[in-house]
Structure 1
Amino acid sequence: MAENNIYKNILYVDDEIHNLNSFRAVFRRSYNVFTALSAKEGKTILAENTIHLIITDQRMPETTGIEFLESIIKDHPAIPRILLTGYTDINAVIDAINKGSVYKYVQKPWSEDELRETIENALKIYTNSKNKEQLTEKLITTNEQLEFLLRQNLLS
C-alpha cells in the first residue's frame, strides 16, 4: 500500500448501512472514505469533495448503481468506478461497462485483499490519467509560447 493513499478520497454508495460500515472499518486507515446511503447523497458528496474513486452497489431501491454512474459521467468523467453486487447478472455487467464506464465489477461478498488490489489499480489509473492531463496542458502552453516566439522572430 502506498503511503500517500490516505489522501485519496473514495466514495462508496450502498443502501445497506452495514455494508458501508464494514467498508469504512476495513479501508479507513488507507483512504479517506466517504459513504452515502443513496445516489442522491452520493451526488451531494461528489459536488462538495474531490473524489478519486467511486464504488457503488448495483441494487438500490431508488436508483441502480449503473444509473447512478451513468448520471455522473458528464461531470466526473475521469473518476474510476467499481460496481459491487451480490447478484450475478450478465446484463448488469454489460450495462456497467457500456453505460456506467465501470473499471471493475466485483461480486459480493468481497474479499478484502482482492478489493484492495482492485482499488489500488483503479487509483493508479486515475493518477496516471491526471498526470497525462497535466503534461498535456504543459505541452500546449509550451507550444503556444514557442509559436509566439517564432512569430516574433519572423516579424523582426
Structure 2
Amino acid sequence: MRKAFLSFLVLLCIYCSKGGEQQKDVDWVILNDKNKIPEQIKDFFLASEKSELKIANPNEAFNIGDAVLDRDLPFRQLKLLEKKNDVWRLVYFQGGIGTSYQFYEFKIAGDTISSIRKGYSFENIESNDSLEYYIKRGKVKFDSVKIRYELEN
C-alpha cells in the first residue's frame, strides 16, 4: 500500500512539472511599451517604410486623424505588444479617414526576422483575446508584406 502511494505521488509530481512547462509555451507575455519593441522590428519598419517606427504608447497622445495637430506626435498608437517564445505580435491604431488596427506577427530567430504576417481590421483590437477572436472570425484581413530595397552606389 505504501509503495503504491509513493508511486502515485511520484507520478503526480512528474505530471505537474510537465504541465508547468506546457503552460509556459501557451502564455503570451504582454509588454505594451514602445521602448520594448525589438530592434529587428524597428529595422523592418525602416526598410519597408523608409522611416523609423514612430508610435505612441497606449494612452499617450498621437495625431488621430489626417489633420496634423502636432508635428511632434506620431500617427500611430500602440495597442498590443506581446511575445511568446520567438513570436512577437504588434497591433497599433492608425487614424485618418480609414481608421484601422494594423496587425503584425514576427518570428525572430537571433537577430533575424524569419517570417512576417501582416493584417488589418476595423474592429477594436486591444488584447490578445480580441485579436484571436477577430482572426478566427475572419475580421482581420491579411496582406502581403512588401519591402523596398535600394542598392547604394
Q: TM-score, normalised by structure 1?
A: 0.30
Q: Which structure has greater strand proportion?
A: 2
Q: Which has the higher helix share?
A: 1
TM, length-normalised to structure 2: 0.30
